[in-house]
Structures are given as C-alpha cells and as structure tokens.
Structure 1
Amino acid sequence: MATTLSLSFPLDPQNRFNISKTTRRFSLSSLPYHKFPIPNPHFKISSSSHSQSQSSSSTSLNDTFFLPGRFLTHDELNRLNFLESFLYSQQLQSGTVWVRVMRDHEVDPIVCLLADSFAESMMFPKGYINVLRFLVKQYLIERRTLMPHMVTLIAFYKGIVDDGEEEMHLAGTVEISFDKNGANTSLPSPTPPKDKPYICNMAVQKSLRRRGIGWHLLKASEELISRMSSSGDVYLHCRMIDEAPFNMYTKADYKIVTTDSILVLLMLQRRKHLMCKKLPLISMPSETDVSFSDE
C-alpha cells in the first residue's frame, strides 16, 4: 500500500510546510533497533474487535517528553494510561500484525520510515536524507508533547514460513489527532475541522505491502478514535492519483467531503480528496473491563 504523509516542519517564516503522499523502502537492518517489545498478549481489553492491552512496558508513556510547565489533568492521565495499554492484533493468512502506541525509544525507526518515504517520492538527492530525517525527528518530538490529544501508532508483523515463524518486523505507522488540542497547526487542503479526529502519515514498509497491514492500521486507528474521542466523525486525505488507498478507504466506508481545486497544481501540489467516516462511540474501559489470563 502507498502511504499518506502530511508532516509539517519549522522551516519557513510561517514555520510550516506540508508533505504529500509517498511510498518508501525500509530496511530494518539499517536501524539500531532490531527487535521491538510486544505487549503481553494475555492482557485483554474487552472489545468487539481483536484489541488487547498490557499492564506495563519497558517505557512508560508517563515518562515521555512534555513541554516545560505543562501539567496533565486527571482525565489526561487516564487517557495516557489507556493509550499505553492499547494493543490491536489480527491474524492474517501470511502472519500476524500488532498495532500499538509508539514509545520514545522507537522514534528513530519511524523517522527513517517517514523520511525515506518522502525522499523517494520527491527524488531528493541522497545527500539531503540526513537533513530530512532531522526535520522529521523534530516534528515527531514536537507532536508527542501533545499526547494524549494525539498519538503515533506503529505496526509490527511476524510472517509464517515453512520452517516456522519469521523474526518480527516493524511494518508501518500512522498518526492520529483526537481533538483541536492535538491538531496540527498547518493541515493540508482541503482543510478538515481541527476539532474532529484526523488520520494522517500512514506508511507501510514496501516489502510488506499487499498483506493487509495498511487496512489494519486504519482499523486500529478507528477503534482507538472511537474510545478516545466524543466525536463520531473521522477525517483523512487521499490524493486523487492514488487509486489503491482510495479503494481501501471507500471499502472502509469513507466518503468524499470535498476535493482540492485545480488551482493547487499551481503550487506544485497534488489534488487531494478530504474524506470522512462516521464511527460508533465506545467508552474507554474501566478497570473492571480489563481481564487477565495466566495461561
């Protein structure tokens, strides 16, 4: 599956520019993290889908970086704890996919995934990739200070081979903003409502596409939004030229709200659809909703 990127970086006098939809190649061996911790699958959140939770992880989201002087309310702490426990899993014909919240020590692999995607799409010279990675990392760090009003999810995939199971791989990522406090200050056109949930920056490792990973990144995002937001509407962008993602979104019941004017071509941008879907609202589980298994 192709990817949808709408990153914004502090570069120009207005402090922003946007990145459009791209694809990428991703080599896990080039990254410092070869294995990634998967939460204990015996901790389950009651849900209609295949979602699970963990009681703890190697890095707590409560220890993540926040802006100096920012204090979290009781509600924000509860939401942060829920994000830490969130895990979506799905068995595929070719293997298993897990989706959970990105931890601080996983920023660098996601930086490579997103930066290389943009560089490949825009045919950037290789000499610029380190600068681009620096900008993407600054973006991710800045965005993470807005948790729990936004979140970056990451997908892991373990395939099935004849002689057993493959090693687990980082497979993809997606970003979600839940409300206006987590909205990006500079959104691509057509502009979605800032007080509504918004899905962007979806990327899947090129070697792992066509396995349903992008679909389950989308489904995990929708389930998390249903639990974290009081709004029933979720928005996303899709470029007009990207047929495969558009077919996936329409299959998931997203409808076109509006489309970019042809005048955006004068700004060297691809025309995009703004799409919307109504989601069922699911309240966050209480402590009594979480069941534990010793198996």
Structure 2
Amino acid sequence: MAAAAISLSLYSDRQQVQQQHSFTNLNPSKGLSFLSSRNPLLSLQKIDRYNFKCSCSSSNSNSVTPSQFYAFLDDPFRGSRFLSNEELEKLKALESFVYLQELESGSLCIRAMRTEEMDLTVGLLAESFAESMLLPLGYEALLRFLVKQYMIERRAVMPHAVTLVGFYKEKSGEGGEQLAGTVEVCFDKRGANASPPSPTPPKNSPYICNMTVPKQLRRRGIGWQLLKASEELITQMTSSKEVYLHCRIIDEAPFNMYIKAGYDVVQTDSILILLTLQRRKHLMCKKLPVFRNIPESDISDSGEELP
C-alpha cells in the first residue's frame, strides 16, 4: 500500500531543552526560538498513488467583517490588532479552505486549525519533538508549554501564516475522526519566523515547516497530502511562484522524495554549523504550480525511522 510519513525534527540537542527548563520567566520570542526556527518539514518517504482533490467553499459575500475574523480566532486576539480589508479577505479564505482526499484505508480532511483544536495539535507536536530528540518523558510537559506559547504567537500573525490540521477517518467507520497530522505554512514576510533556520529562506517567499503525523497513522499517504494541501493553499493565498522548506542532510529518503516532488537544493549549511550543535540542512525550493504524477515504482520503500 502506498503511504507517506512525516517526522518533525528539532535541530537542537537535549542540552538546549534542559537549558530551557531552567528559565523562570520564559519569553516566547527568545525562549521559543529553538522551536520556531529549527523544526522544518522533514521525512516524507512514500507517496500516495491517488490524485489529490482540493475544494474551497465559496461565499456569496464579497467581504468579511472583523467580527467574522475574530470569531475564527480566540478571545486573546479580539481587538488586539487592526486588519486591512485584504487581510480580512485572506482570513475568510483560510477559514473556508478544505482539502479532501480519499486514501486506500480511509478519508482525510485538511483545513486550518481551530481554536479548540490547539491543545490537541500541541500534544502531537510535543510528542514528536520528544521522540525525535530522545528526551525523557518528563520533558514532554515542558515541550507542550513551549510549543503552545509558540503556536499562540503564530496564530496571532494570521492570515500571513497558518497551521493546518488533518483529520482522518477509517473506511470501516470505526473510531470516528482522529487528528492525523499538522503542518505550518508561512505565506509572506509578515508571517515568517523572526529567527528562521539556516540556510535562511527568503522571508517574502512561502515556507513549509513543522509537519508531523502520529506514529499509528504513518505510511497511509497522510504526509504527502499535508504537503500537497500546503502547496495548494499557497497558490491560492499568494502570487509567489516559489515555496521553500528544509531537509537535513542525513535524511536521505526525504531528500529523494523532495527531488521527485519537484524540489531542488538551493543552498546547504556549512560544516561549521555543527559547532552550534545543529544538524546540517539543505534549503530546498519548488516552483509553483508543480504537480507531478510520480510512478509508484519510482518511490523508495524505505522505513519511517525518526531522526
């Protein structure tokens, strides 16, 4: 069965998280920099054989009111920021975005994360961080706190960036819908992270990062669909013809997948980056729109080990 898996990796070692544990007053813009800047999209290993579908619900109204925008966010953001008409329209597009895909084993729906889904998404990301960094279980609570602060900050920059979530339902109908993955998409300079990972992508260009799929749902094509949904949304939200992401040099299978998907290496970390306790990474770029049909025989059947 064709499948896809995505593993999110933090380009920082255990010592950096332990240092975070000693902070008494966490400043999200500083204490969370290791989360916001060093966890790019990684490790897509196989591609679902089906073509993707995307549908965006339309509206009869040509404008969206501030009250509609704030309803899409949560209480802390109401009245805290002035939005232009263009931003309000983009918020409406994000709220209505729906990407539907039928997989071999079930159905997948990808859309913008809602306020009430933040804790669930935070849990998935924190679990993935802890797994990729081989951290003791005791650090997961700390990671949850840091990730949530980061996500609150990122949610405040909407519609210049968005967190997408995917919900999966088995064809058998047993168990109902479950969170199947998440990915962050930055559309422009205002949505870019303040401290992006190296090699630094252009801040004015879209950027995909922070993608992960739960262990029990990997190898079902979900990761690939998260990537395609991100690209489809980018084409609707911006006129940019390029999208960027990072891939660690040690992740051979993801690297091969990105090449097959149309991404090219534009820059690679210097070996000196190892002195900062980070993994060397490729910065990769894809011209949009590019949707290539890749023969299943060309896709690597490698495992899904986390880095």
Smaller-chain TM-score range? 0.7 to 0.9
Equivalent residues in 2 for 1:132-281 (5 A)? 132-161=143-172, 164-280=173-289
The one-letter amino acid paired with 1:62 is Y
Task: Describe the superposition over 1:238-290 as per-residue Cα deviations: whole angstroms up to 9, x where unpaired.
Answer: 11122332233222111111111111112111111100011139xxxxxxxxx
2:97 matched residue in structure 1:
86
Following TM superposition, by how much is the alpha carbon of 1:100 offset from its aligned partner in structure 2, in angstroms?
A: 0.3
Q: Secondary structure at the match of 2:6?
A: coil
Query: Alignment identity in percent?
Result: 59
Q: Secondary structure at the match of 2:189?
A: coil
**Contact kept in structure 2, 1:197 and 1:225, CA below 8 Å:** yes
Q: 1:84 to 1:130 in 2, by over 3 A?
A: same
Which stretch of structure 1 is more off in the superposition, 68-77 or 105-114?
68-77
Gaps of 5+ in 2: 13-25, 43-51, 60-67, 291-307
Q: Secondary structure at the match of 1:191?
A: coil
Following the alignment from structure 1 to structure 2, what is the Cα–Cα distance between the partners of residues 131 and 210? 29
Gaps of 5+ in 1: 24-47, 282-295
1:62 matched residue in structure 2:
70
Following the alignment from structure 2 to structure 1, what is the Cα–Cα distance between the partners of residues 134 and 186? 29
1:112 matched residue in structure 2:
123
Q: Secondary structure at the match of 1:181?
A: helix
Following TM superposition, by how much is the alpha carbon of 1:119 offset from its aligned partner in structure 2, in angstroms?
A: 1.1
Q: 1:255 to 1:213 in 2, by over 3 A?
A: same
2:17 matched residue in structure 1:
none
Following the alignment from structure 1 to structure 2, what is the Cα–Cα distance between the partners of residues 268 and 67? 40
**Contact kept in structure 2, 1:160 and 1:166, CA below 8 Å:** no
1:102 matched residue in structure 2:
113
Equivalent residues in 2 for 1:120-139 (5 A)? 120-139=131-150
The structure in which a higher percent of residues are strand is: 1
The one-letter amino acid paired with 1:128 is Y
* RMSD, matched Cα: 2.7
The structure in which a higher percent of residues are helix is: 2
The one-letter amino acid paired with 1:261 is S
1:53 matched residue in structure 2:
57
Q: Secondary structure at the match of 2:171?
A: strand
Query: What is the aligned length?
Result: 252
Q: Secondary structure at the match of 2:203?
A: coil
Structure 1 length-normalised TM: 0.78
Task: Describe the superposition over 1:45-82 as per-residue Cα deviations: whole angstroms up to 9, x where unpaired.
Answer: xxx94324377xxxx65321438641111111111011
**Contact kept in structure 2, 1:22 and 1:121, CA below 8 Å:** no
The one-letter amino acid paired with 1:53 is S
**Contact kept in structure 1, 2:206 and 2:242, CA below 8 Å:** yes
Asked which structure has the greater RCO (Cα within 8 Å, sep 6+), the reply is 2
Q: Does 1:16 align with 2:39?
A: no
Following the alignment from structure 1 to structure 2, what is the Cα–Cα distance between the partners of residues 169 and 96? 11
**Contact kept in structure 1, 2:41 and 2:210, CA below 8 Å:** no
